[in-house]
Structure 1
Amino acid sequence: MKVHQIQVGNMQNFSYIIEDEDTGDAIIIDPSWDLVELEMIIKRNNLKVKYIVNTHHHFDHTLGNEAMAKSTKSPIIQHEFSELPHDISVKDGDFIEFGNSKLKVLHTPGHSKDSICLIGDGKIFSGDTLFVGNCGRIDLPGGSAQDLYHSLFDVLYSLDDNLVLYSGHNYGPSEVSTIGQEKVTNHVMQKRTEQQFIDMMG
């Protein structure tokens, strides 16, 4: 599974093209801006885009959905709690398959009700649930510090330390990290009670 990580727009977003190297099938994660660059990667690598997947519904992760769906003729996948137009709904534990690759859906609410992470082949695409060095904000509609606490500590904290972390924004000291590294260095991943976490998040 080859990862094309593309920084787009002026909010330091990451869009991703995930390529199944055996078959040339691919998925696009969170298309928003700079779609020409995404299309160039697809064309240059002769990829067949099977799905467009959104980690959550916020505009800076979904702005390019319609244009990319049109140009690739691919259905849009979102969590079942998303209120945006999409073709396929997924829930916790579902798999998104393309070529010989597959990514498991983890429902990780907190930044938004429909936030998901995608995990497979030693990688995790965490959207705005977890950044390198921080986590997503909880002050937007549908955000919840309590939900985020449980997503971080009941779901992500127990994952394999070696999982390579690809997040939704380039907000940290590096573009990628690992779950293990974040458990050591990321202040939001330090063990604390739910109430302490809620107080910290304000």
Structure 2
Amino acid sequence: MHPIQLFDPESSTFTYILRAASGREAVIIDPVDKQWERDTLQLDRLGLKLAYVLETHAHADHVTSAGKLREMTGAKAAVPSGCCIPPADVQLHHGDVLRFGDNEEIKVLHTPGHTAGSMSFVWHGNVFTGDTLLINGCGRTDFQSGSAGALYGSVTNELFTLPDENLVWPGHDYSGQSVSTIGWEKRNNSRLANRDKQSFIELMGNLNLPRPKLIDIAVPANQNLGLPQGA
């Protein structure tokens, strides 16, 4: 089973809708505030009822629509327990399983490094990696309690131990790519393939990336599910 992949061009963010094989329930991963109308229209078009809104982490480059979607649909917001998002309905921990539809299961993996609380989600041979593992790259590790060493461990010990044929659906892409596989990333990822932990840490420490423009707005907003403070 494949997800429905949607894209926000302003933040280069992927949002995913997972639909149950039977029944009408669905889950959405990493929705973007400016795209809530698109996302609800897609759900309506397919006759789907939203059961969960999932976040892979507290994003620094866009504001989530999780709170708005929860209000509109009655879905539960499920978030990584280490990301300080107290208004969520469900605080996720490593090894948790989320169930929706008749027999659908999403396995939760704690994959810190981009942020301390970052998580990935496994469903039917698909893994949604957020900013932990990107296509031919990975998320930065220089803010929000990021750690290059932790990210290296998350990828090598959790994600790269999944079957090679598992499809990798990242949280972002900046080069017009949409999906990869665990096997391809293990062999070819320009930051991680055939690289030991120390050289990866050195690589990440020398990226000298600019500070995300929206970080001071996005992170506090996302820690409140994208809703105004006090809402």
C-alpha offsets along residues 85-137 of structure 1, whole Å, 9 cap, x if unaligned? 31101111111111121110000000001100101211000000001110000
Larger relative contact order, structure 1 or 2 (CA cutoff 8 Å, min sep 6):
2
The answer on whether the counterparts of 1:146 and 1:198 sit within 8 Å (CA) in structure 2 is yes
Partner of 2:23: 23
Q: Alpha carbons of 1:94 and 1:62: their partners in 2 closer, same or farther (altered >3 Å)?
A: farther
Partner of 2:45: 44
Partner of 1:198: 201
CA distance in 1, matches of 2:71, 2:44: 15
CA distance in 1, matches of 2:185, 2:175: 11
Matches within 5 A, 1:1-202: 1-32=1-32, 33-60=34-61, 63-84=64-85, 85-99=87-101, 100-172=103-175, 174-202=177-205
Structure 1 length-normalised TM = 0.95
Q: Percent identity?
A: 36
Cα RMSD for the two superposed structures: 1.4
The answer on whether the counterparts of 1:29 and 1:53 sit within 8 Å (CA) in structure 2 is yes
Gaps spanning 5+ residues in structure 2: where?
206-231
The answer on whether the counterparts of 1:118 and 1:125 sit within 8 Å (CA) in structure 2 is yes
Shift of 1:188: 2.1
SS at match of 2:3: strand
Structure 2 length-normalised TM = 0.83
* Number of residues of Structure 1 aligned to a counterpart in Structure 2: 202
SS at match of 1:89: strand
Q: Alpha carbons of 1:62 and 1:23: their partners in 2 closer, same or farther (altered >3 Å)?
A: farther
Shift of 1:62: 5.0
Which structure has greater strand proportion? 1
CA distance in 1, matches of 2:141, 2:5: 25
The answer on whether the counterparts of 2:128 and 2:169 sit within 8 Å (CA) in structure 1 is yes
Gaps spanning 5+ residues in structure 1: where?
none
